[in-house]
Chain A
Amino acid sequence: MAARTVLDDADITRALRRIAHEVLESRHGDGRLVFLGIPTRGTILAERVHRLVEAIEPGSSSVGSLDITLYRDDLGRTPTRAPAPTRIPDGGIDDAIVVLVDDVLYSGRTVRAALDALADHGRPRAVRLAVLIDRGHRELPIRADFVGKNLPSATSERVRVRLVEVDGVEEVSIER
């Protein structure tokens, strides 16, 4: 299996920094920002973007994670995944601008599940989506508001995001 690195650690940092600026620009005024990462790697990325945003505008945002395992529509088709904890920051998500953060946007089914999960926690003013990689092949009418890198890929290829916190290395690669 041939693997090709498409983003190295400097590229990832640059992409996240750009996302942080774009999120702040798109805020239009005083909306409270809540970054919610989708476990496992989305949670790590959400924490990083949150730190970058705080460095620019302290006190403008909070961060948490949103588990979607129990909301998936492919139960019984894929092996069970143990749910990961959901952490909603103090103050909740009512009237906040929620930015969902995930590593790869692919079919869009994870995001659909996340929207369902979100509705059970409250009613945000708006929900945005930030992803490090958009690899195309959507199966649902969903798009990302903030994209680190668009990566056209074939369905037979595999996009892997590895982050230093859980994988020990920092890179995005594509395997065919």
Chain B
Amino acid sequence: MKHLLSTRDLDRAAAVRLLDVAEDMAQTATREVRKLPTLRGRTVVNLFFEDSTRTRLSFESAAKRLSADVITVNAKGSSVSKGESLKDTAQTLQAMGADAIVVRHGSSGAAHQLAHSGWVDAHVLNAGDGTHEHPTQALLDAHTMRSRRYGAESRGRDLVGMRVLIVGDILHSRVARSNLWLLTTLGAEVHLAAPRTLLPAGVGTWPARIHHDLDAALDTAPHAVMMLRVQQERMHDAFFPSAREYGREYGLTAERFARLEADTMVMHPGPMNRGLEISSIAADSAQSTVLEQVRNGVFIRMAALYLLIAGSTEADA
């Protein structure tokens, strides 16, 4: 694997392998010394054109746990804000000897462009591109579901037999897209619930069942309910009349939460808008996996960095 750009082009074997290696990485976190020497002398650049705290911190700590040198570039306050192009920024990083570039960009396809235009030799990890994909988020979600379901017996398993309901702003959500493809590859059944205004055109061709009524969707007794964040920064138009109405129709309110099975996972990629898409009682319950998702994010990113950088010559060998 040279790059990690999307979950759509991951096959089952590659996805399970990533999850299994993440399991090994998780195991090292319980030791006396948590740092591994694996990527000593390699340089990982975090190139963030969009604001992000948790993804950036997660990638940073993953790279540091593996002993890589980490350089973080925020577009704000860099030459990017002076008008430097993605190409020039990338080539600057290449000249500085980056082994891997973790990129987040507001435009869909930016990571693909960086990986395949011949500008750089480095491995490219997509940390979110526009409304396209956010593969490590989907992988950490799958990892969280798998460990909740199978515990210590997780290794080698996929998610066959699981029903996952994704709720909210599917239109703008790269998390939903990455999850849809990955969950489908891993054999899970995907349901989407959203108002018509927040579903993309052509959603009918996706391998998912579409619901417009959250209560009806919850009647399918999903094993996991993934609440998406209402992305206020992307809401330039009137997609729904008011935040209160959205919360009432599509939020995981205390009443809806009470209807869930006792072992249904409540997931959220964070940061949460409490009281809007998710009620505090659901977010703070034992069924909530929010903090596990954050923890697993570091392990998934360690696994991805390891498999990309360490396996760089696999194709040549």
Question: Which residues of chain A have a CB within 8 Å of any CB of chain B?
Answer: 67, 70-71, 75-80, 82-86, 116, 119-122
Taking a contact as CB atoms under 8 Å apart, the answer to whether B309 and A75 are in contact is: yes
B255 to chain A, nearest CB (A): 43
Report A-chain residues with C-beta under 8 Å of the C-beta of B89. Answer: none
B301 to chain A, nearest CB (A): 15
Proximity string of chain B (257-292) to chain A, C-beta cutoff 8 Å, 1 when within and 0 when not:
000000000000000000000000000000000000
Report B-chain residues with C-beta under 8 Å of the C-beta of A85. Answer: 24, 27
Taking a contact as CB atoms under 8 Å apart, the answer to whether A82 and B313 are in contact is: no
- A86 to chain B: closest residue by CB: B27
Taking a contact as CB atoms under 8 Å apart, the answer to whether B38 and A71 are in contact is: yes
Taking a contact as CB atoms under 8 Å apart, the answer to whether A76 and B38 are in contact is: no
Complexed CA–CA distance, A47 and B35 (Å): 28
- A116 to chain B: closest residue by CB: B37
Task: Classify the interface of chain B: helix, strand, loop or mixed.
Answer: loop
Interface centre among A67, A83, A85 (most CB of B within 10 A): A83
Report A-chain residues with C-beta under 8 Å of the C-beta of B314. Answer: 79-80
Given contacts A82-B17, A82-B21, contact A120 B306 (CB under 8 A): no
Given contacts A79-B317, A121-B31, contact A71 B36 (CB under 8 A): yes
The listed residue (A70, A76, A82, A84) touching B312 by CB distance below 8 A is A76
With an 8 A cutoff between CB atoms, is B235 at the interface? no
With an 8 A cutoff between CB atoms, is B71 at the interface? no
Task: Classify the interface of chain A: helix, strand, loop or mixed.
Answer: loop
Report A-chain residues with C-beta under 8 Å of the C-beta of B35. Answer: 120
Report B-chain residues with C-beta under 8 Å of the C-beta of A84. Answer: 24
Report B-chain residues with C-beta under 8 Å of the C-beta of A120. Answer: 31-33, 35-36
12 additional A-B residue pairs with CB within 8 Å, beyond A82-B20, A86-B28, A116-B37: A67-B24, A70-B24, A70-B28, A71-B37, A77-B313, A79-B314, A80-B310, A120-B32, A120-B33, A120-B36, A121-B31, A121-B32
Complexed CA–CA distance, A119 and B66 (Å): 16
B44 to chain A, nearest CB (A): 14
B206 to chain A, nearest CB (A): 31
Complexed CA–CA distance, A116 and B35 (Å): 12
Taking a contact as CB atoms under 8 Å apart, the answer to whether A80 and B31 are in contact is: no
Proximity string of chain B (52-91) to chain A, C-beta cutoff 8 Å, 1 when within and 0 when not:
0000000000000010000000000000000000000000
Proximity string of chain B (9-41) to chain A, C-beta cutoff 8 Å, 1 when within and 0 when not:
000000001001100100110011101111100
Would you list 30 pairs from A and B whose C-beta atoms are within 8 A, ordered by A residue?
A67-B24, A70-B28, A70-B36, A70-B37, A70-B38, A71-B36, A71-B37, A71-B38, A75-B309, A76-B309, A76-B312, A76-B313, A79-B311, A79-B313, A79-B314, A80-B307, A80-B314, A82-B17, A82-B24, A83-B24, A84-B24, A85-B24, A85-B27, A86-B27, A86-B28, A116-B37, A120-B31, A120-B32, A121-B31, A122-B32
Q: How many residues of B contact A (CB 8 A)?
A: 24
Proximity string of chain B (138-175) to chain A, C-beta cutoff 8 Å, 1 when within and 0 when not:
00000000000000000000000000000000000000
- B23 to chain A: closest residue by CB: A85
Taking a contact as CB atoms under 8 Å apart, the answer to whether B33 and A70 are in contact is: no
Report A-chain residues with C-beta under 8 Å of the C-beta of B21. Answer: 82-83
A18 to chain B, nearest CB (A): 34
Proximity string of chain B (293-317) to chain A, C-beta cutoff 8 Å, 1 when within and 0 when not:
0000000000000110111111001
Report B-chain residues with C-beta under 8 Å of the C-beta of A71. Answer: 36-38
Complexed CA–CA distance, A82 and B33 (Å): 21
Complexed CA–CA distance, A84 and B39 (Å): 18
- A92 to chain B: closest residue by CB: B32
A106 to chain B, nearest CB (A): 19
A132 to chain B, nearest CB (A): 26
Complexed CA–CA distance, A67 and B27 (Å): 11
Complexed CA–CA distance, A79 and B316 (Å): 9
Find residues 128-146 in chain B having any chain A CB closer than 8 Å to their own CB. Answer: none
A71 to chain B, nearest CB (A): 6
